[in-house]
Amino acid sequence: KAGVTQTPRYLIKTRGQQVTLSCSPISGHRSVSWYQQTPGQGLQFLFEYFSETQRNKGNFPGRFSGRQFSNSRSEMNVSTLELGDSALYLCASSLEAGGFNEQFFGPGTRLTVL
Amino acid sequence: GENVEQHPSTLSVQEGDSAVIKCTYSDSASNYFPWYKQELGKGPQLIIDIRSNVGEKKDQRIAVTLNKTAKHFSLHITETQPEDSAVYFCAATLGNKLTFGGGTRVLVKP
């Protein structure tokens, strides 16, 4: 079975721009969660989607948004980029929602904001 | 608020020795506690998990213990090897989402 894939792997943007990251979950997994990983803050939960619905949301500003498609693929968007948005963005897929099942992580997208 | 505290932040051990990482959590309703290993340039990978109805779980050189009363759980790695060098994260389900500890950077010296 193919693992979780994320595209692109690396991205460089400037302040004020917006960015869209993509995540393809493991086949059969309906839940996709997104995390931001930074050296100072560790792994921070952004949001979780299940069956095209946002099920849970972390403490991030409204500039961070996401969606999920009928094939369970998910995208997250960050608008009006700030320097502090530079981070590794990880997505994880699981069979069910709620954080009670094993989550399989992708390799991440490294976003650098200049 | 809901959080998971993890200690130590760095751990250096001699090859063959044991390594222990400890985590505490805030929500007594938490019932799922996974441990992840993250190697450089990769996403975290689950190495072992435990649910609240179990006090201990082992998988070869790795074991996890859970004390629900004290709200803490620990990862034990025995007979450490250089390939165990990585960052380890504990996590707990808090409020229907996984909340991660701050991570422990483990260095196994040959």
> Is residue A2's pLDDT more than 60?
yes
pLDDT score recorded for residue A89: 98
Which chain B residue is nearest to residue A58, measuring alpha carbons? B97
pLDDT score recorded for residue A67: 97
> Is residue A77's pLDDT more than 70?
yes
The answer to whether residue A85 neighbours chain B at the CB level (below 8 Å) is: no
DSSP code of residue A4: -
Q: Mind spelling out the 3-state secondary structure of A22-41? A: EEECCCCCCEEEEEEEECCC
Query: Does the CA dihedral A104-A42-A39-A8 come out positive or negative?
Result: positive
Nearest to A45 among B34, B97, B101 (CB): B97
Mean pLDDT of successive 10-residue stretches along chain B, which has 110 residues:
88 97 91 94 94 90 95 97 97 88 96
The answer to whether residue A45 neighbours chain B at the CB level (below 8 Å) is: yes
**Could you report the per-residue pLDDT of A32-75, keeping only the tens digit for each?**
999 999 987 789 999 999 999 999 999 999 999 999 999 999 99
Nearest to B46 among A42, A45, A102 (CB): A102
d(CA A69, CA A113): 27
Inter-chain touch A48–B97, beta carbons under 8 Å: yes
Chain centroid to Cα B31, Å, comes to 15
Query: Does the CA dihedral A50-B31-A27-B103 come out positive or negative?
Result: positive
